[in-house]
Amino acid sequence: METVADRGRELLRLQAGKSNGDSMEEWCQKLLDGHGEASSIAIARDILQRYIDADDTERTQFFELLYSQFGPSASQINRTAQRYFETEQDDDLLELIQAVEPPRQELFRQLNMAPYGTRTLVDMRSDLIRFARARPHLQIVDADLKHLFSSWFNRGFLRLERIEWTSPAHILEKLIAYESVHEIKGWNDLRRRLAEDRRCFAFFHPALQDEPLIFLQVALMNGIATTISPLLDQDADIADAQQADTAIFYSINNSQQGLRGISFGNFLIKQVLTELQQEFPSLNTFTTLSPIPRFGGVLRNMATGGSQVGFDSDLVRTMLGGFADVLRDPSGLDDVIEALLAAMDDERNNLREELRDALRLIVLAYLTRARRVDGSLHDPVAEFHLANGAALERINTFADVSERGLRQSFGCMVNYRYDPDMVVANHERFVNAGTIAMSKSMARDCQRIESMLDEAA
């Protein structure tokens, strides 16, 4: 592709990195107007190189250009829509479909033909997501690029690979760089995570062969893990994987910010589950040990008057009613939520045992009741696993007492269970009726919460 682009540049009489003085708009229009294959690839490569060399201001201007000059024509849409409504003919429908598609989508397709075009476009979308926070109108440009990525990164193009200690060094380095759930603290830590009683699987794409798109870390052990520290202990003895009865999915990472919103994780977990069953017939339990990344922030926000749909301060105060004296005495605070936060933030944490039961119920209420504006669960990890067919198995208090774990969720973590025989049914009930599959103990705790709220009412 580089050779073809160089030939195309020769045909266009371009100097390396130059575009004959044309503006970015003129150069993009030339690409859309059509040329021979070699010259089109050369133009696409030069546009992408100009983007790579640009600073944030110039990159923002490029996205503004895509928004204002390469969107669909409203008048053409109106004309073709009216004609189709009158005739209901297939030819008119096809013309309407063509009118609705923005020219920038074809521009992205052409840019993708350049050498390393896919890699550059993924990085480009990472910038676009960042810029769109301050410029919401650019979200329509992001929607076009995301639409194309949904096809280009279809599951049918992905390749599942196990990453081992003997994998290429540049792949191992990227695991360290991309791990965002539980930091990998150097090569010794990584080596332990890739030992014989561990597994790491990743999806790769042909256009990004050296880039794991998403990777999943698994611990093979006996019994369900309820705390994270043994799984991350670099000095822990290596267990006999052949004797394990449980697989714990303890870290899943989307590596590419530019592919945010493109679903890989549901396919990855299910395929890894199948791979593990084939390699280890003795495995009969598959669970996660998952963080609750937004719980701490929601609870702290309540102390300053904030609330969340379905999960407000009145509900939390009701569940803390039986613990009011225990909380108020050491803190001297009248409000039980403020007293709870003070107890959780106390490094001595002398009330840990007394608060386990109350904290578990509050977390359960948050996971099952708190909602976002669109009606989905507020906790993104819960939404992901439950929509993927998992069941809420157990809430573990003080399971992650690292600085990050205490800040995010007061140390709480969740086991979501993947039962191969129930995954499809659980998924259907959740997405169609919002029904959350859960263990018997979690169901009993939900009933306790309902009873508390009924009594308070």
pTM for this model (two decimals): 0.87
What's the distance, CA 175 to chain centroid? 16
Is residue 241 pLDDT above 50, yes or no?
yes
CATH 3.40.630.180 fits 156-288, yes or no: yes
**For 404-421, what is each residue's pLDDT tens digit?**
999 999 999 999 999 999
Mean pLDDT value of segment 280-287: 96
428: tokens are 């259907």
Is residue 443 scored above 90 in pLDDT?
A: yes
According to DSSP, the residues that pair with 205 across neighbouring strands are: 208
Of 355, 356, 365, 357, the closest CA to residue 438 belongs to 365
Are 442 and 418 in contact by the 8 Å Cβ rule? The answer is no
Sign of the CA dihedral 186, 192, 198, 199? positive
pLDDT of amino acid 265: 80
**What is the spatial distance between Cα 273 and Cα 286, in angstroms, rounded to a whole number?**
8
| pLDDT tens for each residue of 299-352 | 999 888 888 889 999 999 888 888 887 787 776 788 888 888 888 877 665 677
Separation CA 268–CA 252 (nearest Å):
9
Q: Where do the domains of the chain lie?
A: 2-152, 156-288, 295-456
- Is the domain spanning 295-456 CATH 3.40.630.150? The answer is yes
Answer yes or no: are the C-beta atoms of 367 and 449 closer than 8 Å: no
Q: Is the pLDDT of residue 74 over 90?
A: yes
pLDDT over 50 (residue 82): yes
Q: How far apart are CA 439 and CA 274, in angstroms?
A: 23
Confidence bin at 181 (pLDDT 50/70/90)? very high
User: Token pair 């979200």 is at which residue?
Assistant: 139
- Spatial separation of the C-alpha atoms in residues 16 and 369, rounded to whole Å: 58
Query: Residue 442: which residues within 8 A CB-CB, separation 6 or more?
Result: 364, 392, 393, 394, 395
**Region of poorest pLDDT, from 33-42, 272-281, 370-379:** 33-42
- pLDDT at position 15: 46
Spatial CA neighbour of 316 closest among 410, 393, 441, 440: 410
Check whether 445 has a pLDDT greater than 90.
yes
- Domain 295-456 in the same topology as domain 156-288: yes
Residue 411: predicted pLDDT:
93
CATH code: domain 2-152 is 1.20.140.90
- pLDDT single digits (tens) 83-138: 999 999 999 999 999 999 999 999 999 999 999 999 999 999 999 999 999 999 99
Q: Is the pLDDT of residue 172 over 50?
A: yes
Average pLDDT of the chain to the nearest whole number: 91
In whole angstroms, how large is the CA radius of gyration of the chain? Answer: 26
Is the pLDDT reported for residue 231 higher than 50? yes
Whether 32 has a pLDDT exceeding 60, the answer reads yes
Cα angle for residues 355, 328, 450 (degrees, 5° grid): 50
